[in-house]
């Protein structure tokens, strides 16, 4: 039995952050009903991260909405809204990510919803919270990365701002929402009362930077200093970075530069015996590494570093990773299939419960696929 079996979640969200939270609850056993507008459904169905289309929907939609049921409802239609309210009476969790004010106009804001279901845990995702000058601006991942200074931590010193290559703001906000929802469900088990959980892309991106932002706040407000050579962390010294070898790349994490010089038989590195210099002179140290590491293969260097327990790794691409036994042992992939036979290979939930991996073969639903079934199951009229 999965931990959240028996819980009913209404997912009235679209795009990525809210649906990713609902996905994780589904992975953990909750029944998730995705409420989306008739015909077109969630706008994410047509939000492509490549040109790949599967059974009329984007792979992004398939990935983030697997293991859910779809209920078609126009929330501006009084009849459909009344039916959704009947589902809310039965629900344990509701997730929405409309801009501030939209749910109030519809009549499904938290204050009114808790009148019909005081035990409901109500989760919201916004771009920038519910107050302040940014609340009406588009809450989008790249924009949140840009407003929080995160983009000045990536890339080398001579580059401009560099964003992450994945939707980190959306995914962290979704994870934070899950944490808050589960906390409120635990509290409800004690008090019987539901609660309101609010997260934003802005606050999630700030939390993601809590280590380096705290440093900035306590060192006189100095700006982050990215290294000019192979930057991987603006606040860490040499050798931290990724280096080219004769046949690929090698990743080096924190460690003694002088020890590294002995392991690699690089006399130039052994001269830096003051740990303070590993940050103050990191670019020149890294330049020695750039020159030295390009003389041999990745495997050659790993055969010296790994026995010495120096923190390192080969830089793998996806085909290399997928073929490696270290990945295969995780059993991390699963096929999911629609009832018409259309299938997709995707990842599973990263959480194990009692030693078991959590998988479910149900693919994302078509718009309104389960409306009639849900009406019958929950006596909605």
pTM listed for this prediction: 0.94
Pick from 139, 107, 109, 141: nearest CA to 123: 109
Q: Could you name the CATH architecture of 8-208+330-377?
A: 3-Layer(aba) Sandwich (3.40)
pLDDT by 10s per residue, the chain, length 381:
899 999 999 999 999 999 999 999 999 999 999 999 999 999 889 888 777 888 889 998 999 999 999 999 999 999 999 999 999 999 999 999 998 899 999 999 999 999 999 999 999 999 999 999 999 999 999 999 999 999 999 999 999 999 999 999 999 999 999 999 999 999 999 999 999 999 999 999 999 999 999 999 999 999 999 999 999 999 999 999 999 999 999 999 999 999 999 999 999 999 999 999 999 999 999 999 999 999 999 999 999 999 999 999 999 999 999 999 999 999 999 999 998 999 999 999 999 999 999 999 999 999 999 999 999 999 999
Q: Return the ∠ at Cα 77 (arms to 88 and 181), rounded to 5°.
A: 25
Is residue 49 within 8 Å of 7, Cβ to Cβ?
no
Report the C-alpha gap between 58 and 257 in whole angstroms: 47
User: How many Å separate Cα 1 from the centre of its chain?
Assistant: 26
User: What is the Cα–Cα distance from 374 to 353, expressed in whole angstroms?
Assistant: 28
Tokens of 209: 């930077």
Residue whose tokens read 């239609």 = 77
Domain ranges in the chain are: 8-208+330-377, 249-314
Cα 319 to Cα 96, 244, 316, 334, distances in angstroms: 37, 19, 8, 17
Query: Closest by alpha carbon to 173, among 125, 130, 135?
Result: 125
Pairing of strands 352-353, 356-357: antiparallel
Q: How far are the Cα atoms of 86, 115, 221, 280 from residue 377, in angstroms, in the given order?
A: 12, 23, 58, 66
The closest alpha carbon to 148, from 129, 123, 125, 176, belongs to: 129
Catalytic one of 55, 92, 170, 274? 170
- At residue 197's C-alpha, the angle toward residues 23 and 27, to 5°, is 15
Q: Is 170 a catalytic residue?
A: yes
Helix and strand totals (H; E) in the chain: 17, 15
**Residue 246 to residue 298: CA distance in whole angstroms:** 7
Residue whose token pair is 């079996």: 5
Residue 352 pairs in a beta bridge with 357
258's tokens: 């002088």
Separation CA 57–CA 73 (nearest Å): 19
Three-class HEC string of 317-328: CHHHHHHCHHHH
DSSP state, residue 8: E
């Amino acid at each position: 039995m999965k931990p959240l079996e028996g819980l009913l979640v209404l997912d009235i969200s679209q795009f990525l952050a809210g649906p990713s939270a609902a996905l994780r609850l589904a992975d953990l056993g909750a029944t998730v009903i995705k409420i989306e507008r008739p015909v077109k459904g969630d706008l994410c169905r047509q939000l492509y991260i490549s040109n790949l289309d599967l059974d009329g929907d984007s792979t992004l939609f398939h990935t983030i909405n697997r293991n859910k049921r779809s209920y078609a409802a126009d929330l501006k239609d009084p009849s459909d809204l009344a039916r959704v309210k009947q589902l809310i009476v039965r629900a344990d969790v509701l997730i929405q990510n409309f801009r501030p004010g939209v749910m109030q106009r519809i009549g499904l804001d938290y204050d009114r919803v808790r009148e019909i279901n005081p035990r409901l845990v109500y989760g919201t995702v916004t771009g920038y919270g519910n107050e302040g000058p940014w609340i009406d601006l588009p809450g989008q991942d790249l924009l949140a990365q840009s407003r929080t200074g995160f983009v000045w931590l990536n890339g080398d010193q001579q580059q401009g701002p560099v964003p992450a290559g994945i939707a980190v703001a959306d995914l962290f906000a979704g994870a934070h929402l899950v944490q808050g929802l589960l906390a409120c469900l635990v509290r409800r088990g004690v008090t019987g009362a539901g609660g309101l959980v609010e997260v934003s892309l802005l606050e999630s991106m700030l939390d993601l930077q809590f280590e380096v932002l705290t440093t900035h706040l306590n060192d006189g407000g100095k700006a982050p200093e990215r290294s000019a050579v192979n930057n991987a962390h603006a606040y860490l010294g040499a050798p931290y970075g990724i280096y080219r070898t004769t046949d690929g790349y090698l990743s080096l994490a924190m460690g003694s530069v002088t020890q590294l010089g002995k392991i690699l038989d690089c006399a130039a590195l052994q001269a830096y015996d003051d740990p303070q210099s590993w940050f103050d002179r990191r670019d020149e140290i890294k330049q020695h590494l750039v020159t030295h590491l390009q003389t041999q293969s990745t495997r050659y260097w790993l055969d010296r570093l790994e026995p010495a327990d120096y923190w390192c790794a080969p830089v793998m691409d996806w085909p290399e990773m997928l073929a490696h036994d270290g990945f295969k042992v995780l059993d991390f992939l699963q096929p999911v299939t629609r009832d018409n036979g259309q299938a997709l290979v995707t990842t599973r939930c990263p959480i194990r419960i009692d030693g078991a991996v959590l998988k479910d073969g149900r693919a994302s639903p078509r718009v309104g696929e389960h409306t009639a079934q849900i009406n019958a199951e929950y006596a909605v009229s």
